[in-house]
Amino acid sequence: MQTLCLEWGAWLTQTGLLQAPGLFMTGTDTGVGKTWVGIRLIQVLRQHGLEIAPRKPAESGWAEDVTQTDTWQLAQAAGADPQQVCANRLQAALAPPRAARLAGKTLTLGGLAAACLAHVQAGQFLFVEGAGGFYSPLAEDGLNADLAEWLGLPVILVTEDRVGCLNHVLLTIEAAQRRNLTVAGIILNRQQASVPAGMDNLADLRERCSIPLLQL
């Protein structure tokens, strides 16, 4: 645990997040572990003295047991009010704009951005977790990428540490940079108990980009 904390601290220093107003956390796909990673990142940021205002602009597949939702878990990690974390709680486990339509609602980028910024106090660190991948639909008029661009926060990219992730990571970096967004850091989240012999995505990415990398 101590070694991991030291790794987090060194990575945070490289990313510049400790001096930033917040971050936008996105993934290379759905199910790469953004919330699991986000909880730990929030904990480390708090250890460095930051007060976190977590936001999940929209959450699909809202669980009957609220403790199983991303919203509740992020709120608990930050010591925040879950009611302020997510303004759009959607039952269907689909992309947010479609889930909202089924619920008779309409999601817009402007509305999502306003929800992210609401109730954020001066000096708080705005921690925004998107839904799905960077180019996944998030509102009727835009993608996660569009909200990230609207907010203008540094981007943290989470990917599952597996065969095939290099393509997804490099494509997402290029997409973010085309929007003049800063990809402050990349987190490789290993979810599989075993991986192919010789796989080293950390080393391969280091050869191809200069963005601070963290492997979990």
Cα dihedral 164, 167, 169, 171 sign: negative
What's the pTM value of the predicted model, to 2 decimals? 0.95
Sorted by where each starts, the structural domains of the chain and their CATH numbers stand as 23-48+84-192 (3.40.50.300)
Rounded to 10 deg, the angle between the 165-178 and 201-208 helix axes is: 30
Cα–Cα dist 34/27, whole Å: 7
Where b means 16+ CB within 10 Å and e means fewer, 194-215 reads eeeeeeebeeebeeeeebbbbb
pLDDT of residue 7: 85
- The residues pairing with 110 across neighbouring beta strands, listed in sequence order, are none
User: Which element (helix H / strand E) includes 103?
Assistant: none
**34 flagged as catalytic:** no
Distance CA 142, CA 108 (A): 8
**Residue 1: what pLDDT?**
45
Nearest to 162 by CA among 114, 122, 118, 199: 199
Q: Contact at 8 Å (CB) between 44 and 183? A: no
- pLDDT for 17: 97
Per-residue pLDDT tens digits of the chain, which is 216 residues long? 445 567 898 999 999 999 999 999 999 999 999 999 999 999 999 999 999 999 999 999 999 899 999 999 999 999 999 999 999 999 999 999 999 999 999 999 999 999 999 999 999 999 999 999 999 999 999 999 999 999 999 999 999 999 999 999 999 999 999 999 999 999 999 988 778 889 999 999 999 999 999 999
Angle, in degrees to the nearest 10, between helices 34-47 and 2-15: 90
Cα–Cα nearest to 58, from 115, 125, 104, 124 = 115
- Catalytic choice (56, 89, 162, 168): 56
Using alpha carbons, list the distances in angstroms from residue 32 to 28, 88, 159.
7, 22, 6
